[in-house]
Amino acid sequence: MRTSALLVRQICYEQKLYWRSPSSAVFTFAFPILLLVIFATLNQGATIRSLGGISYNQYYVPGIIAFSVISACYTNLAIALSFRRDAGVLKRIRGTPLPPWVFMAGNIGSSLVVSLLLVTLTTTVGVLFYGVTFPGRWGALFLALVVGAFCFCGLGLAMTGLIATATASPAIVNGTLFPILFISGTFFPVQPTELLGRIASIFPIRHFEQAMFAVFDPRLGGSGIELGSPPASRPAAPSTAGSLTLTLSQRGEGARVSSRRRRGARGRGAGGGACAAPWSRSGGCAHGSPRSVCRPLPGCARPPRRCRSAGGGSSSP
């Protein structure tokens, strides 16, 4: 089968797997819409003086669109891969004919599909119900979505390598995301000269939201694309760093697994000494007592050497 066809089938499989978990799928789509409805309704008719008097919803809807992409590409990807890793799925994938890069590309492609659906749904709700205007900058919108999705998919993969256990992944992922969302100006404007604005400029969320707002900003003219502008170029660096972190963490994990296997092989070749741990002694007597019995536990083929050589002791399988 050709590589492109194999990749398409993997994306379709990931989509089936995603939609067969209704609870997580509904939450992914409902949470951004819920935030949009609550804040847009509470601030209906409000304006922002620092941005030339534009309506609050004209500023807020692009921020929710950016949050939808981050939720699909960073949050969902990091949590899902963490649970798959702990379940042993990633190790079993390497034993199949499926190339590992096709598996990872299928996960990323599925996240891109979900983010595209979220962008469409959020934009439709904002335009139809809250009077948001879209200037028709399709090229700028596509460029911002591609760069942002690439960035946060890379960060999601990197976060997978830094999470120790899958049960802790929701707390770690959301705990690192929401504080930065607030200081980056997702819900209310944060001036770049303020302390929180300077801190937020270190992270890619701030630049991604600025790029999305530039697409919807009615004060700007032209196509909305400015080559070499910081909002369009800065988010790409964390994605590269994220992919590198994931690669190094996976290699480290593979090296640890190989080391454990080599130690186990050397222990099995050393004779009965390796079987000491899987065996247990019952009867409460010292070795050599007639009542001492060494019982085998799963994973050991023969009793320990000291049990076989004990006078009067018995070894029973």
Distance in angstroms (rounded) separating the CA atoms of residues 148 and 69: 8
Q: Model pTM greater than 0.75?
A: no
Question: Which one is predicted more confidently, 143 or 298?
Answer: 143
Listed in sequence order, the residues at least 6 apart from 184 whose beta carbon sits closer than 8 Å to its beta carbon are 190, 200, 203, 205, 206, 209
For residue 1, what pLDDT is reported? 61
Q: Return the amino acid letter for 249.
A: S
Q: For residue range 216-268, list pLDDT tens digits in order.
A: 998 887 776 766 554 444 554 444 444 444 544 444 454 444 455 555 555 54
Per-residue pLDDT, averaged over 92-112, amounts to 90
| Pair 8, 110: CB distance under 8 Å | no
Q: What angle do CA 50, 31, 81 make, to 5 degrees?
A: 115
Distance of CA 268 to the CA centre of its chain: 39
| Pair 220, 136: CB distance under 8 Å | no
Distance of CA 114 to the CA centre of its chain: 14
The residue extents of the domains of the chain are 3-262, 275-315
Q: For residue range 196-217, list pLDDT tens digits in order.
A: 999 999 999 999 999 999 999 9
Which strands make up the sheet holding 279-282, listed edge to edge? 279-282, 293-296, 314-315
Per-residue pLDDT, averaged over 150-162, amounts to 91
Q: For residue range 162-180, list pLDDT tens digits in order.
A: 899 999 999 999 999 999 9
**DSSP secondary structure letters along 168-229:** GHHHHHHHHHHHHHHHTTSSS---TTSHHHHHHTTSHHHHHHHHHHHHH-TT--TTS--TT-
Distance in angstroms (rounded) separating the CA atoms of residues 205 and 208: 5
